[in-house]
């Protein structure tokens, strides 16, 4: 019997459940495969008592249309830094990686399928190097993993951001305002770039192209001078001015290592006022609306293929691999390659050129 343990780690993302369902449904074609899920990533394995549930055709039926993850997830630590309380109740991060590898072996798991973003896949690679059989599935709305053309969840997030631009265009036009829409993406501008093109924004500010605030003001003024009298700006949360830094804050949540981005829309608005931009400006931070809810059809299909492929890699003992979507086909790449480089927007890529071609300014 081959026992496979599935887990979802890092921020949630539309399509996680479709991957889980794909894994389980594909497994039913095999005589000797059983699938289990660990609740909240590795927590379910490492907690006492453990929280590991069997995944069957019955409990995954119809879940591909649901947002979130039926297994739960966490952004607070993992096997290499597990939030733990000492005798005085003080929290510290404990390295439980060796124990994790041993538990997987001793509990008779053939393989772990880890569904997660760059942070989760780096953990997968380190555990793989320590001898744990693992297969990765790339998830994140940010689309920032370089080994795959698309992560699932990205297209749904882009649609959510585009719907927001569409709504904001009509209110900006009615009031002759500048409206700044801040979207997620961490250090990558993919969501902003796609939503700006799809929604027809005048300005798109992304981390990969630091903006010059005077150029942003010039673009706004030229629109008002043309008599159009309103401007929509799509701003990536990781965008920064030339010679400036990104707006971020440390989190006080136990075990949460990432810097929290967000709020750059207010910073941009303030900068524009400081250089005497006369337009009325409103700001909108789209936030977690981009991550919640039903995955669109593209993400369901991609996630389902990832799930099926991940199960096939697992049963064929092709460990240390991550499933990927390259040149319109599903394949696999080594986790090492998958975690080597971040997928930033290339400022010279055709998508940026096309955006400029239709008059979108990047403030550069």
Active-site positions read 142
Q: Which is nearer to ligand F6P, 91 or 280 (CB)?
A: 91
Residue nearest ligand F6P, Cβ-based:
184
Shortest distance (Å) from residue 236 CB to ligand F6P: 9
d(CA 66, CA 300): 10
List all residues 6 or more positions away from 69 whose beta carbon is below 8 Å from its beta carbon. Answer: 8, 12, 16, 17, 20
DSSP line for 138-202: EB-TT--BTTSS--BTHHHHHHHHHHHHHHHHHHHHHHT-EEEEEE--TT--HHHHHHHHHHT-S
Q: Judging by DSSP bridges, how do beta strands 329-334 and 321-326 pair with one another?
A: antiparallel
Shortest distance (Å) from residue 155 CB to ligand F6P: 14
Size of the site for ligand F6P (CB under 6 A): 13
Of the CA atoms within 13 Å of residue 161, those in its CB half-sphere come to 38
d(CA 152, CA 229): 37
Q: Which is nearer to ligand F6P, 189 or 363 (CB)?
A: 189
Residue from 5, 6, 9, 11 binding ligand F6P (CB under 6 A): 11
Residue from 74, 75, 100, 232 binding ligand F6P (CB under 6 A): 75
Rule CB under 6 A: is residue 26 a binding residue for ligand F6P?
Answer: no
d(CA 324, CA 146): 10
Residue from 4, 103, 112, 141 binding ligand F6P (CB under 6 A): 141
Q: Which range in 84-92, 127-135, 180-188, 343-351 contacts ligand F6P by CB under 6 A?
A: 180-188
Shortest distance (Å) from residue 140 CB to ligand F6P: 5
Q: Which is nearer to ligand F6P, 160 or 237 (CB)?
A: 237
Alpha-helical runs (H) found in the chain:
16-27, 43-46, 57-60, 97-106, 118-129, 154-175, 190-199, 213-225, 264-274, 297-315, 335-338, 350-357
Shortest distance (Å) from residue 13 CB to ligand F6P: 7
Q: Which range in 95-103, 138-146, 174-182, 192-200 contacts ligand F6P by CB under 6 A?
A: 138-146
Shortest distance (Å) from residue 115 CB to ligand F6P: 14
Residue from 22, 37, 136, 185 binding ligand F6P (CB under 6 A): 185
Closest CA to 202 of 227, 169, 171, 176: 169
Residue from 223, 291, 300, 309 binding ligand F6P (CB under 6 A): 291
Q: Which range in 90-98, 102-110, 184-192, 312-320 contacts ligand F6P by CB under 6 A?
A: 184-192
Only one residue has tokens 């903006």, namely 211
Of 208-247, which residues contact ligand F6P (CB under 6 A)?
237
Of the CA atoms within 13 Å of residue 203, those in its CB half-sphere come to 32
Residue from 115, 135, 172, 261 binding ligand F6P (CB under 6 A): 261
Of 334-353, which residues contact ligand F6P (CB under 6 A)?
none
Sheet holding 178-183, edge to edge: 203-205, 231-236, 178-183, 281-285
Q: Which is nearer to ligand F6P, 119 or 210 (CB)?
A: 119
Shortest distance (Å) from residue 81 CB to ligand F6P: 16
Q: Which is nearer to ligand F6P, 178 or 184 (CB)?
A: 184
Cα separations in angstroms, 1 against 4, 57, 104, 294, 315: 10, 18, 15, 34, 11
d(CA 113, CA 190): 26
Which residues here bind ligand F6P, judged by CB under 6 A? 11, 75, 117, 140-142, 184-186, 237, 260-261, 291
């Amino acid at each position: 019997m081959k026992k496979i343990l599935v887990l979802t780690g890092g921020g949630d993302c539309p399509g996680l459940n479709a991957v889980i369902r794909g894994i389980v449904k594909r497994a039913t074609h095999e005589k000797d495969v059983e699938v289990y899920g660990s609740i909240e990533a590795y927590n379910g394995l490492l907690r006492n008592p453990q929280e590991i549930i069997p995944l069957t055709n019955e409990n995954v039926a119809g879940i591909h249309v649901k947002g979130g993850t039926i297994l739960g997830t966490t952004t607070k630590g993992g096997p290499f830094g597990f939030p733990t309380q000492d005798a005085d109740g003080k929290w510290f991060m404990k390295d439980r990686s060796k124990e994790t590898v041993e538990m997987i072996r001793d509990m008779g798991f053939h393989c772990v399928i880890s569904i997660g973003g760059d942070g989760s896949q780096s953990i997968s690679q380190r555990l793989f190097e320590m001898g744990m059989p693992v297969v990765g599935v790339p998830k994140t709305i940010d689309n920032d993993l370089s080994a795959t053309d698309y992560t699932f969840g990205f297209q749904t997030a882009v649609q959510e951001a585009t719907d927001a631009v569409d709504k904001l265009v009509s209110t900006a036009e009615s009031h002759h305002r500048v409206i700044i829409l801040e979207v997620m993406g961490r250090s990558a501008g993919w969501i902003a770039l796609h939503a700006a093109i799809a929604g027809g924004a005048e300005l798109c500010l992304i981390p990969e192209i630091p903006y010059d605030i005077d150029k942003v003001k010039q673009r706004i003024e030229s629109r008002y001078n043309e008599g159009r009298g309103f401007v929509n700006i799509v701003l990536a949360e990781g965008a920064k001015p030339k010679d400036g830094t990104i707006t971020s804050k440390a989190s006080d949540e136990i075990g949460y290592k990432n810097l929290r981005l967000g709020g750059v829309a207010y910073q941009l608005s303030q900068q524009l006022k400081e250089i005497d931009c006369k337009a009325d400006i409103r700001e909108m931070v789209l936030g977690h609306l981009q991550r919640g809810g039903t995955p669109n059809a593209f993400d369901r299909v991609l996630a389902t293929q990832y799930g099926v492929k991940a199960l096939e890699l697992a049963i064929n003992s092709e460990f240390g691999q991550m499933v990927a979507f390259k040149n319109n086909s599903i394949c696999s790449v080594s986790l090492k390659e998958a975690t080597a480089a971040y997928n930033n927007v290339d400022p010279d890529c055709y998508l940026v050129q096309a955006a400029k071609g239709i008059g979108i300014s990047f403030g550069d």
